[in-house]
A and B are shown apart, each in its own frame.
Chain A
Amino acid sequence: MNIRHMRHLTFLLVVLLSRQIPSLQAQDITLPVKPGSVRFAAIGDMGTGEPAQYEIAQRMQQFHQKFPFTFVIMLGDNIYGGKSPSKLMKKFEIPYKPLLDAGVHFYATLGNHDDTNERFYKLFNMNGQQYYSFKKDNVHFLSLDTNYLDPQQVTWIAKELANAPTGWKICFFHHPLYSSGAFHGSSTELRVVLEPLFVKNGVQVVFAGHEHVYERIKPQKGIHYFTEGASGQLRAGNLKKTDLTAVGYDKDHSFLLVEISGDDLYFQAVSRTGVTIDSGTIRRPVETIP
Chain B
Amino acid sequence: MQPNRFFRAVVFIMVLAGVLWIPTAAGAPQAPPSSPAPAAFGDFAQRVQQYVNLRNAVVPRLRTTKQSKEIVDRRQALAQNIREMRQNAKPGDIFTPEISEEFRRMIRSTFQGANARNVRRTIRQGEPVAGWKLTVNGDYPEDLPLTTVPPTLLLCLPQLPSKVAYRIIGHYFVLQDTEARLVIDFIPGAIP
Q: Could you say which of B11, B65, B143, B148 contacts A81, with CB atoms under 8 Å apart?
A: B143
Once the chains bind, are B143 and A82 in contact (CB under 8 Å)?
yes
CB under 8 Å from chain B, chain A span 182-218: 184-185, 187-193, 195-197, 199-200
Once the chains bind, are A151 and B155 in contact (CB under 8 Å)?
yes
Once the chains bind, are B148 and A188 in contact (CB under 8 Å)?
no
Q: How far is the CB of A3 from chain B (nearest CB, A)?
A: 17
- Whole-angstrom distance between the alpha carbons of A127 and B65 in the complex? 10
Once the chains bind, are B15 and A154 in contact (CB under 8 Å)?
yes
Q: Which residues of A contact B165 (CB under 8 A)?
A: 116, 148
Residues 56-71 of chain B, each 1 if its beta carbon lies under 8 Å from chain A, else 0: 0000001111111101
Once the chains bind, are B12 and A154 in contact (CB under 8 Å)?
yes
**Is residue B54 contacting chain A, with contact meaning CB distance below 8 A?**
no
In this complex, what residue of A is CB-closest to B181?
A115
Q: Which residues of B contact A195 (CB under 8 A)?
A: 24
- Whole-angstrom distance between the alpha carbons of A128 and B19 in the complex? 28
Once the chains bind, are B26 and A192 in contact (CB under 8 Å)?
yes
Once the chains bind, are B24 and A116 in contact (CB under 8 Å)?
no
**Is residue A158 contacting chain B, with contact meaning CB distance below 8 A?**
yes
Once the chains bind, are A128 and B63 in contact (CB under 8 Å)?
yes
Q: Which residues of A contact B188 (CB under 8 A)?
A: none
**Is residue B179 contacting chain A, with contact meaning CB distance below 8 A?**
yes
In this complex, what residue of B is CB-closest to A193?
B151
**Is residue A146 contacting chain B, with contact meaning CB distance below 8 A?**
yes
Once the chains bind, are A191 and B151 in contact (CB under 8 Å)?
no
Q: Which residues of A contact B142 (CB under 8 A)?
A: 81-83, 115
Once the chains bind, are A191 and B26 in contact (CB under 8 Å)?
yes
Once the chains bind, are A116 and B12 in contact (CB under 8 Å)?
no
Q: Could you say which of B18, B20, B149, B155 contacts A148, with CB atoms under 8 Å apart?
A: B149
Q: How far is the CB of A199 from chain B (nearest CB, A)?
A: 7
- Whole-angstrom distance between the alpha carbons of A122 and B166 in the complex? 26
Once the chains bind, are A112 and B68 in contact (CB under 8 Å)?
no
Residues 139-173 of chain B, each 1 if its beta carbon lies under 8 Å from chain A, else 0: 00011011111111011000110000110000000
Once the chains bind, are B26 and A151 in contact (CB under 8 Å)?
no
Once the chains bind, are B69 and A85 in contact (CB under 8 Å)?
yes
Once the chains bind, are A120 and B71 in contact (CB under 8 Å)?
yes
Which one of B37-45, B85-93, B116-124, B130-138 is at the A interface?
Answer: B116-124
Once the chains bind, are B148 and A88 in contact (CB under 8 Å)?
no
Q: Which residues of B contact A113 (CB under 8 A)?
A: 143, 145-146
Q: Which residues of A contact B16 (CB under 8 A)?
A: 151, 154, 193
Once the chains bind, are B115 and A192 in contact (CB under 8 Å)?
yes
In this complex, what residue of B is CB-closest to A184?
B125
In this complex, what residue of B is CB-closest to A152?
B8
Q: Could you say which of A120, A158, A188, A199 contacts B26, with CB atoms under 8 Å apart?
A: A188
**Is residue A147 contacting chain B, with contact meaning CB distance below 8 A?**
yes
Once the chains bind, are A117 and B179 in contact (CB under 8 Å)?
yes
Once the chains bind, are A150 and B68 in contact (CB under 8 Å)?
no
Q: Could you say which of A114, A121, A199 contacts B68, with CB atoms under 8 Å apart?
A: A121
CB under 8 Å from chain B, chain A span 56-111: 80-85, 88-89
Q: A115-B181, A116-B178 are in contact. Are A85 and B68 (CB under 8 A)?
A: yes
**Is residue A175 contacting chain B, with contact meaning CB distance below 8 A?**
yes
With A89-B68, A117-B179, A152-B12 already in contact, 5 other A-B pairs whose C-beta atoms are closer than 8 Å: A85-B68, A147-B146, A148-B148, A151-B16, A189-B122
**Could you give 21 example pairs across A and B, Cβ below 8 Å?**
A85-B68, A112-B126, A117-B179, A118-B71, A119-B64, A120-B65, A127-B64, A128-B62, A149-B148, A150-B151, A150-B154, A150-B159, A151-B154, A154-B15, A154-B16, A155-B8, A158-B15, A189-B121, A189-B122, A196-B28, A199-B22
A interface vs B, CB < 8 Å?
80-85, 88-89, 112-123, 126-128, 146-152, 154-155, 158-159, 175, 184-185, 187-193, 195-197, 199-200
